[in-house]
Each structure stands twice: as C-alpha cells, then as structure tokens.
Structure 1
C-alpha cells in the first residue's frame, strides 16, 4: 500500500501533475527549488510543502526537472528511504537512468524513468501519456500513483527505455514541425488559403498532431503560448540522435530535423515555445504562416 507520495519540481508540468495526487492519497509532499512555489501549491491543492529531506521519505517520489543532470545533482548524497520508488518524469538521458538505477539500488530504492507527454493541458486534465522504463515489479507498485495524472501508462522496457521513447517521440514531432512549416510556406507562396488547406490535410493522410493542434492553435493565430520551451525540444532531439549514433544507425531525416531545430533554437529567445521554430522558416522565405 502507498502511504505517502512526494513530488519534486513544480514547473509548468509538475505543478499541474502534483495537483491530482491529493485526490488519491492522504499524504502528499511537494518541494521546489523556489520554495515559495511549493508553499503556493500547498495552499492551492492541500499538499504539504516540506524540506527536500522530508519529501524523499515518501513511499513514491516523483521528480520532474529540466534535465537528467539536474536530477543527478539533486540525488547526490541525498539519504533516501529503503523500499521507496523514485519515478523520474524528466525528459532525460537513458544512460543517466541506468546510472541512477545502480546508485539508488545501494540504498534499497527502485528508480524508474517515466517521462510524460501531453503538454500542460494533459497535465491539467490528468490525461498524460507515461512511458516507463525500469524494474517491472517497481512499475506495478508505482502504477496507482502514476494513474493520478496519466491516462495511457506503458512499461516500455528496461531502464532508460522510457527516456528513449520520449526523446524519439519529440524528435518525430520536430520532424513533423519542420516538414509542415516547409509545406505550408510553399502553399502560401502559391496563394493557397492555409486554414482551409489544413482542414483538407487533417482529413487526409498528411495529418499529424502538429497540423491538427500546433499549427492551428499556436502558429496561425500567432499566439505561440509557452508550454514546452524550444531549448527543451532541442535537448530531446539531441538525445534521440545520440541513441541512433550509439546503435550505429544512419538516420538522415532525423539528423536534418535535429540540425534545423538546433538552428532555430540558436536564433530564438530561451523562453520561446517550441512552435516558434517556424519563425526561422519565415525569416528565410519572408512568408508568414498565418
């Protein structure tokens, strides 16, 4: 039985994910590097803002930080409770997951890499997809806690597999974004109505999440709301390319997409949403996708 749950890292995703836990568990600890945010969360959702050392005494500990390096730094010399399960929802590096499995097992703790997909709306509605790598029995024990914010939750393989799936998912989204930007720029150059064209594409074989939601809800209306930062997408595409290189595979399409996302990131403000990558194409073509 899970008696207590903790959530570490109350960013755009974590803040919303942690909000669902008190609906299912009596004791929910929250901690954030900016502690005022943890206190705000406690006041809003009836969680308990506690010191990091207390948070990690929970039965299930979730973390959701920007990078694997942040998680490794947090865990350095941090005493944990034997028998607990650490579920890392960071979009991380597979090799880091394998490293932390070994490190935490010395303290009798199971480490699962469990990144999520579904953006902030999915976190708010508890409809996230959770891709989990690591110990199968640990997965089963932690599953009830993950179900608080996840709709589709899959154990995808051994340690590092969850991070690998998330990185490749985001790489494919990046490739779709680049291809769609080029396609719509070409259509507009030929004086095609982009809104009507998208209706046709989204009822046909060329559709993707990018054409169905990202372009209509972020780009055509020029809103570009910040829910997933472009630097984080650039990080994830880099992880995906590293995976291909480790397997000694040739992936020319993915490599080109990664180069384009990296270029767009270098030209953008660090607080830009991933959808602003299309502005690079607009600067090249002098055509606005709207």
Structure 2
C-alpha cells in the first residue's frame, strides 16, 4: 500500500521579528519548535522565554515543517538556497513573509524535485493578533498540503483559508495591505479637510465609525496611533510601500486596470521617500498633514 506523508513531529521557525516572535511562541505550544534568527542572541532569548530551541541552519533543515517570516522573498530565497541540499524529503516549507507571487511559484518549483512541498501563507492581524492567535492566514498551494499542516497554522491563526495555487496567498496579502494604505491615506485626507472646515475630529471620527465610511484604519489606527501622535512601530512604512508595489506589479502582469491601487502605491512610495522606511506606516498621514498645513489632533 502507498504510504501517506510522514507525521509532523517538529517545526522550525525562521525570523523572529515583530510577527515571528509571537507566532513561533504560539507554535511551540503545539509541538517542539526550533527557532533561528540572523542575530543568534534573539533566538537564544526566545528559547529562554518561550521554551523553543535555538538552532543552527543545519538543525533547521531536519525539521518536518519549516516556517519563515522575513522582510522579503529575497531573504527567504537566500536561506532556501543554503538549506536546499539538506532538506528532508516529505517536509513542508511554509512562507509567512509578505512575499512576491512570482517568488512563491519559483520557490515551489525549486523545492519540488527535493520532495519538499511549499505553501505561501502570509498573515494579517499585527503583533497583537499573533500574540492572541487570531491572525488571518491566506494560503497559496495545494489543499492536501494545507490540511496536513493546518494545526500549525491554526496555532496562531483564527481564520486559515486556501485562496488558490502557489502565489495566491502573497497576491491576496498585497491587495489587503494596499487597501489598508488606501484607507489610511483617504481617511487622513478626509479628516484634514474637516479640520480646515472647523469640525471637531474626535466626534467626527466617532460618527464615521458608526457609519458606512468606517474601516480598520478609522476604528483602530487613528485613535491608537495618530491622534495621540504615538506612531508606535508595529509595521514599517517601507514594508507597506513594498507590498503596494507588489500588488501593482501583479495587476500589470495580468494586464488589469487598477488606478486606485496604482495611485496608492505611488503615494506610499512618496511617503517612504519623504519620511523614511523605518517609521510605522501610520506616519504616512504626516504627508497629508503637510499638504494641508494641519495636524490631525
């Protein structure tokens, strides 16, 4: 009788940034988890705090499932190339990076001859969602592979859905993040115009949140980040601009038409150049404030 895929007994997590740290911690509640970070001390601290095991890349290669959460597909590709000779047939690589669909398809093709399956599975919900295990996970790849590793993804994700073949998860994430940028900037423009007209911003925002103009940006970002001028670093402006650029490239690849997404990508890139890549993405509203000569407080 043909044998099914080997059982999942161990996992490895690559990349312990703002998202990776809590995701790996929740994964470790489910099964033994190796952790790796380019800065080794970060992995050692994670192991001490969350009961994971700091590992070398050689040890990571022997895990049943490898998860990565890095800034871009390029970093994932570099690690994949280094690990490729040692990966175990029957294992699965899950990339939770906000990556590029073209890279997902190329990486899936690279792993397949080694007997390693690949899923692109970016997440949405921020560090707080990762800590609470309430992330949305959008998965590209084969359904049977997803079902095999679903418990791992559900350790940090409340909604785990396959959205299509390889690359589809990354494509959906790019659109999601571009829409977040569009909502953020359009709300900033609307509030700036209201302030110039003498309206009170906090009650105006409360009305918007009770009306059809509400969004995640209006319900959470402005009250928690903008009005109090915190702009606390949770998701970098440079990364949001990168994701919007990916969404625009995807539209161009299929010869679609998306002028609003294109304009949003352009504005986010302008904000990145003006303000810097490392500020939280909510700081992009400062560009709108500068256009209008007001501060959204």
Q: Same fold (TM over 0.5)?
A: yes
| Structure 1 segments of 4+ aligned residues over 4 angstroms from their partners | none
- Residue 127 of structure 1 is matched in structure 2 by 134
Single out whichever of 154-163 and 73-82 deviates more from structure 2. Answer: 73-82
Which residue among 71, 74, 77 is the counterpart of 2:79? 74
Once residues 172 and 61 of structure 2 are traced to their aligned partners in structure 1, the CA distance between those partners, rounded to angstroms, is: 27
1:21 aligned to which of 27, 48, 51:
27
Equivalent residues in 2 for 1:124-203, closer than 5 Å: 124-203=131-210
Match of 1:32 in 2: 37
**Post-superposition offset of 1:181:** 0.7
Alpha-carbon separation, structure 1, partners of 2:254 and 2:110: 25
Per the alignment, in what secondary structure is the counterpart of residue 151 of structure 1? strand
Residues 236-257 of structure 1 show CA distances to partners (whole Å, capped at 9, x for unaligned) of: 0000001111111121111111
Distance 2:88 2:185 in 1: 45
Aligned residues: 289
- Give me the TM-score of the superposition, normalised by structure 2: 0.96
Give 1:52 shift. 1.1
Aligned to 1:284: 291
> Per-residue deviation at 1:69?
0.6
Which aligned pairs between 1:207-218 and structure 2 lie closer than 5 A? 207-218=214-225
Aligned-pair CA distance for 1:53:
1.3
Relative to the length of structure 1, the TM-score reads: 0.98
**Deviation of 1:110 (Å):** 0.3
- How far apart, CA to CA, are the structure 1 residues paired with 2:138 and 2:62? 24
User: Which residue in 1 is equivalent to 2:68?
Assistant: 63
- Match of 1:205, SS state, is coil
Measured against aligned partners, the alpha-carbon deviations of 1:49-68 in whole angstroms (never above 9, x if no partner) come to 01011012111111000000
Q: Secondary structure at the match of 1:228?
A: coil
CA distance in 2, matches of 1:179, 1:218: 16
